[in-house]
Amino acid sequence: MNQLLTSGDHPEWLTQGRTVLIMKDPQKGTIPSNYQPITCLSTTWKLLSGIIAAKISRHMDQYMSRAQKGIGNNTRGAKHQLLVHRAFAQDCRTRHTNLCTAWIDYKKAYDSMPHTWILECLKLYNINRTLREFIQNSMKLWNTTLEANSKPIARVSIRCGIYQGDALSPLLFCIGLNPLSQIITKSGYGYQFRSGTTVSHLLYMDDIKLYAENERDIDSLIHLTRIYSKDIRMSFGLDKCGRMNER
């Protein structure tokens, strides 16, 4: 493992994936959106990426936004988000305050984040240089063979986005979104509870919920999110986005 990390080069098979395309609904036919991709990766890569992810995760504990509940230890994930949202609703009704909410979903989120931005964020958060260089070199070799009906269709190089199926890729994605969370937190917008605590957003991987006390502020938070997303070439999946005002 150490030799793979320090050599500056590694065999192509290490990052070779096998993606099986499973049809969701036979009645819809062979349109691309009707297939669910399931990617299998080598055991060696899963072990190695898991070790790297554990090391990076420990380092990122000091930087990762507390709003992100999609990764990390000692988190209840979606259950935590549900409890916090319930607290918003109860506080709003009890105090008769305004609560504006927006939820943001990205279009093909895991396929869209540029490798250059992920690498820039690793540098921004002072990730070990050896690990950064290994990840950069491995990204150049990321590829997968597409299969349907037990037959290979094509071999595809992954030039943008992340793998799905190892421990490292979700962490890299969250690191790439972490600056957005910091920008939103520093904006000063959000919903203030009776205790004085202000919460502006929640994150579960790529799913974002924004909170504010009026429509002007929620518009500002949506604008900040849109600008950041545009800068890293990610776009909203508008059919799954929405907003709501509670009075």
Which two structure tokens, joined as six digits, stand for 70? Answer: 């999609």
CB atoms within 10 A of CB 178: 20
Task: State which amino acid sits at residue 44.
Answer: T
Distance CA 49, CA 17 (A): 14
Mean pLDDT score across all residues of the chain? 90
Predicted confidence (pLDDT) at residue 165 exceeds the cutoff of 90:
no
168-218 tens-digit pLDDT: 999 999 999 999 999 999 999 999 998 888 999 999 999 999 999 999 999
Lowest mean pLDDT among 14-18, 88-92, 114-118: 88-92
The reported pLDDT for the residue numbered 82 is: 83
DSSP letters along 107-171, please?
TTHHHHSBHHHHHHHHHHTT--HHHHHHHHHHHTT-EEEEEETTEEEEEEE--BS--SSSSHHHH
110-145 tens-digit pLDDT: 999 999 999 999 999 999 999 999 999 999 999 999
The reported pLDDT for the residue numbered 11 is: 87
The reported pLDDT for the residue numbered 79 is: 80
32-51 tens-digit pLDDT: 888 888 889 999 999 999 99
Q: Output the pTM of the full model.
A: 0.89
